[in-house]
Chains A and B, each alone.
Chain A
Amino acid sequence: MKLMFGRTVSLQLRLFVAVLLSIALIAGDRYTEGGTVVRTSLNTLVSPLIYVANLPYELFSIGAKSLHTRDQLLTENEALKKKQMLQSEQLQQYQFLARENQKLRALLGSSAKQSNRKIIAQVLSVHSNPYSHQVVINRGTTDGISEGQAVIDEMGVVGQLTKVGSTTSRVLLMTDTTHATPVRILRNDVRTVVEGIGKINVVKLSHVPHSLDVRIGDVLVTSGLGGTFPEGYPVAIVTEINRDEGRPFAQVYAEPIALLDRIRLLVILWRSQQEQINDD
């Protein structure tokens, strides 16, 4: 065997090159921004792998669905119909209110609010890096989405898009340690920022002065500042306040309203046209 002497490049040199390349990659990934072509094509490269890994789960859920009994389906249908009735009643009210709001805004001379473009995405269940909170969805640049768009579900804010590929992309959840959401308290319109601490059911309000008027049970909604999240979507409910005067800030914790550990269908929002024009 030629193993003993036949090695062309020494292992040390190979390791050296590999380490250099990795460090360059880490630095490049960290200090460059935006969805460049290179990044999108790299993310696209692994999309087939993700779809294949998701396949067993899909098969299981199809199997489970086809094993539902008729009774189960009937009860589910009944429940959904009831929900639909209640919601369509609310929707009628909503349309009336929206029109009234538009008229009032016209009277005040302020700009009318427009509903944004949106798209529904499904979560692909694949394993992710254990050190960060993220999920993979089945939408990509072919659906017109891009990095930084807000993602919500039927309850509240979920997170924002990062690492977009052509047919899959990643949603960074709002509980991730690198994510912060600008919010205001619904009760008194005080602005603050909510940041993730790496736990799926707790977020933290950052830099809260002791004098801030915040109570347990306060609902936090997006403030629209920062430009990523449109205004007015529910984010979290305050659950714990620790006003220890020995510390520079009060410690306020909140629980996300969206059930982040069992999300299945998500809505991706586009920013409204007007905001984009103001931005450019």
Chain B
Amino acid sequence: MINRYSLLIALSIFFALIMALMPLPFSFEPFRPDWVLLVLMYWSLAVPHRLNIGTAWVVGLLIDLASGSPLGVNSLTFSVCIFITASNFQKIRNFSLWQQSLLIGLFLTLYHLMQFWLNHFLLGVYFNPQYLWPVFTGMVSWFWVFLLLRKYRRHFRIR
């Protein structure tokens, strides 16, 4: 069912997609946080009945298509991450913001290791510690993403 709430959530995901694809200066490129995953995680914690593994799978496929990775890699990793947050949303919601950010860092590490593992299997790339920079920038960005999206959710009364 498409209603006002789903449209507003879709709009925020669309902006995250644009931010994930926008060009950055070459030296900042390794530090780009995973905006889409952060936004998906926020919504799966805040409104788990609206956004779930299905949405994560579709958005992951869009990312795969738009960033040219082998199809299905981001779908798989997004689904697993959203499964973890959506199945524990009541616990994670009650943590303070910095505790949440530590947990998000853990999930992001899992995401990047799964991504690397799949890409190693499919493309034969080798591990480079640089691949884990987005975990730290993602943890820092979580404060901003969380507070911004909470304001957004309260303003538009998304339930």
Contact = CB atoms under 8 A, between A and B. Distances in A.
A50 B67 CA distance: 9
B52 A14 contact: yes
A49 B125 contact: no
A177 B23 contact: no
Contact of A25 (B21, B30, B68, B75): B75
Nearest to B89: A3
Interface stretch (B4-12, B79-87, B94-102, B145-153): B79-87
Interface in B58-114: 60-62, 65-73, 75-76, 79-80, 83, 86-87
B72 A11 contact: no
Interface string A17-53: 0110111111011100000000000110110011011
A125 B26 CA distance: 11
B22 A127 contact: yes
B153 to A, nearest CB: 15
A184 interface: no
B105 to A, nearest CB: 19
A88 interface: no
A165 B116 CA distance: 26
A130 interface: yes
Nearest to A129: B69
Contacts, number: 134
B70 A30 contact: yes
Nearest to B79: A18
A138 interface: no
Nearest to B116: A131
B57 A178 contact: no
A113 to B, nearest CB: 34
Contact of B69 (A28, A54, A132): A132
A46 B21 CA distance: 11
A127 B30 contact: no
A94 interface: no
Interface of B: prevailing SS: helix
A198 interface: yes
Interface of A: prevailing SS: helix
A170 interface: yes
B116 to A, nearest CB: 8
A127 B67 contact: yes
A24 B57 CA distance: 13
A127 B29 contact: yes
Interface in A118-177: 125-132, 134, 136, 162-163, 170, 177
B157 interface: no
Contacts of A30: 70, 122
A252 B30 CA distance: 29
A137 to B, nearest CB: 12
A56 B22 CA distance: 8
B66 A22 contact: no
Contacts of A130: 29-30, 131
Nearest to A124: B23
A7 B48 CA distance: 10
A29 B66 CA distance: 15
Given A29-B71, A126-B21, A261-B26, A49 B79 contact: no
8 contacts: A18-B76, A18-B83, A28-B71, A45-B65, A46-B66, A53-B66, A127-B22, A132-B69
Given A127-B20, A198-B125, 6 more contacts: A6-B49, A14-B53, A26-B76, A42-B65, A126-B67, A131-B125
3 closest A-B pairs by beta carbon, nearest first, are A25-B72, A22-B76, A53-B21
